[in-house]
Amino acid sequence: MIDIKLIRENKDLVKENIKKKFQNEKLPLVDQVEALDIEFRDCKKKADDLRALRNSKSSEIGVLMREGKALEANKIKEEVSGYGSEIEKLEVKEAELEEKIRKIMMVIPNIIDPSVPIGKDDSENVEAERFGEPIVPNYEIPYHADIIESLNGLDKDSAGRTSGQGFYYLMGDIARIHEAMLAYARDYMIDKGFTYAIPPFMIHANVVEGVMSFPEMEAMMYKIESEDLYLIGTSEHSMIGKFKDQLINSDKLPITMTSYSPCFRKEGGSHGLEERGLYRVHQFEKQEMIVLCNPEDSMEWYEKMWRYSVEIFRNFNIPVRQLNCCSGDLADLKVKSCDIEAWSPRQQKYFEVCSCSNLGDAQARRLGIRAKGENGNYYVHTLNNTVVASPRGLIALIENNYNEDGSITIPEVLRPYMGGKEKIEKK
């Protein structure tokens, strides 16, 4: 959510930003907000003026009563008694206008960073850099589900009976390496100075509205029937929500945290679910990182965060690339975002494994997260990034460490989490 001052002082900038995001249907909202804001401020001024007048008249009544001028005092009392009902009407109107403004402001997209490439959708995202040489071995790499099943590590049929499509059982060494990836990612982030957390896996609606846009919420979130609770789609939601309505001393910034959680997503729409594989599923596990910092530091943190993901995946022997998300692919709250994509030697192309985002002060405004500085209070900036999400990260690891004999070489950094084992082999 942007500062309404931007619309008051530079609505053309806001409209131009909407055009860059190819959301021209939202252009009339800027003029609507401007008109409502003028009406709101006029209403507030009238109410404030009446309150001031009532206070002044009340003081005048006191003076007249002390002077024994009861008749004059009573006349003013009658006049003042009418102010209360008028003020009450104005306050009701203020609240109605404020709510209308808030609802529209929640839909107007955040101002994107000048460095964001302009494009309509994810097909126009821009590759920035590659890390590691993408290799295609001279032997066939089977579909990841077939590899895992051959190692007795996957059972989707049983999951279908217990839970339906989009769920799975991981077993044996595959389940173990899945958890090893998450444990390594956790320890890596702790070594970088991040505080480890396990957050609530359900959050209230007002937290959901604070961390993401309405279209995202509708497409992703599972609602708990008859309760004001949603299952989280990522621990970023509850981790940023942790600071809702908080005033943080500026000397406590930056706040850097890494969190583990299961994640739950509808995965509906055009992408759909995979019948056999693990690329798009309803439930997965993730190690996340979040940062709350001063506005002037957020871009520096953005650069650090996505590079952490690159280093982790390279330590898993996985070639990756950084892809800058174009304007049309950015969710409305985001200032800038990039994906880290892993190389798939089977498909001979890259696929997304991490997403890093700078949201500026959008989430902080929605959730009321401010810092207390020497020159007053201000909204912090929030950032988030995937450290490792599995099973998608697991797919990348399996394909890039698959051997011709059907075994999987365990990356050296994961061996301490696997009891020193060097390979996963068929039994």
Q: What whole-number distance in Å separates Cα of residue 345 and Cα of residue 66?
A: 92
- Asked whether the predicted pLDDT for residue 397 surpasses 70, the reply is yes
Domain boundaries for CATH 1.10.287.40 within the chain: 4-105
Report pLDDT for 87.
Answer: 87
Measure the CA–CA gap between 309 and 318, rounded to whole angstroms. Answer: 11
Q: How far is CA 315 from CA 13, 189, 300, in A?
A: 43, 14, 23
Classified as helix, coil or strand, 39 is helix
C-alpha distances in Å from residue 350, one per residue of 189, 285, 408: 25, 21, 20
Asked whether residue 275 carries a pLDDT value surpassing 70, the answer given is: no
Residue 215: cis peptide before it, omega within 30 degrees of 0: no
Q: Which residue has the tokens 């929030």?
A: 382
Question: What pLDDT band is residue 65 in, cutting at 50, 70 and 90?
Answer: confident
Q: Is the pLDDT of residue 185 over 60?
A: yes
Out of 58-67, 118-127, 154-163, least confident range: 58-67
Per DSSP, 111 falls in state P
Q: What's the whole-model pTM score?
A: 0.90
* Mean pLDDT on 12-33: 97
Question: How confident is the model at residue 56, as a pLDDT?
Answer: 78
| Mean pLDDT score across all residues of the chain | 93
The CATH number, out of the four listed (3.10.150.10, 1.10.260.40, 3.30.930.10, 3.40.50.300), of the domain defined by the range 122-424? 3.30.930.10
Q: Strand pairing partners for 260?
A: 287
Q: What is the pLDDT of residue 314?
A: 98
Beta pairing class for 381-390 and 283-293: antiparallel
Give the mean pLDDT of 36-46. 95
Task: Tell me the average pLDDT across 94-123.
Answer: 95
**Burial of residue 123 (number of CB atoms within 10 Å: 0-12, 13-18, 19+):** exposed
Query: What confidence score (pLDDT) does residue 212 get?
Result: 86
Given phi > 0 = left and psi -120 to 50 = alpha, else beta, which region is 336?
Answer: beta
Angle 159-155-177 from CA coordinates, rounded to 5°: 115
Q: What DSSP assignment string belongs to 220-273?
A: HPEEPTTSS-EE-SSHHHHHHHTTTT-EEEGGGPPEEEEEEEEEE----TTT--
Neighbour order of strands in the sheet with 230-231: 202-203, 230-231, 222-223
* Numbered ranges of CATH 3.30.930.10 in the chain: 122-424
- The rounded percent of the chain whose pLDDT value lies above 70 is 96
Sign of CA dihedral 227, 230, 235, 240: negative
**pLDDT, position 272:** 52
144: pLDDT strictly greater than 50: yes
Query: What pLDDT, on a 0 to 100 scale, did the predictor assign at position 274?
Result: 57
CB 333 within 8 A of CB 365: no
Segment 109-139, tens digit of pLDDT: 999 999 999 999 999 999 999 999 999 999 9
Write the CA distances from 248 to 209, 252, 291, 318, 326, integer angstroms: 21, 7, 13, 39, 33
Write down the pLDDT at residue 68. Answer: 76
Q: Distance between terminal CA atoms of the chain?
A: 55
Task: Among 83-92, 114-123, 384-393, name the one with the lowest average pLDDT.
Answer: 83-92
Would you say residue 174 has pLDDT above 80? Answer: yes
Contact residues for 191 (Cβ-Cβ < 8 A; gap 6+)? none
Kindly state the average pLDDT of the residues 30-58: 90
Instruction: Give the CATH fold of the 4-105 domain.
Output: Helix Hairpins (1.10.287)
pLDDT at 270 (0 to 100): 43
- Under DSSP, is residue 400 helix (H, G, I), strand (E, B) or coil? helix
* Beta strand 230-231 pairing with 255-264: unpaired
Q: Which of 168, 139, 171 is nearest to 152 (CA)?
A: 171
How many Cα neighbours within 13 Å face the side chain of 32? Answer: 15
Would you say residue 61 has pLDDT above 90? no
Q: Report the pLDDT value the prediction gives residue 355, as an integer from 0 to 100.
A: 96
Q: How far are the Cα atoms of 51, 56, 216, 308 from residue 73, in angstroms, in the given order?
A: 18, 13, 60, 73
Angle between helices 4-20 and 27-66 (to 10 degrees): 170
Tell me if 286 sits within 8 A of 100, measured CB to CB: no
Q: What is the pLDDT of residues 278-337, one digit of tens each?
A: 988 999 999 999 999 999 999 999 999 999 999 999 999 999 999 999 999 999 999 999
For 346, the token pair is 């089977």
What whole-number distance in Å separates Cα of residue 290 and Cα of residue 295?
15
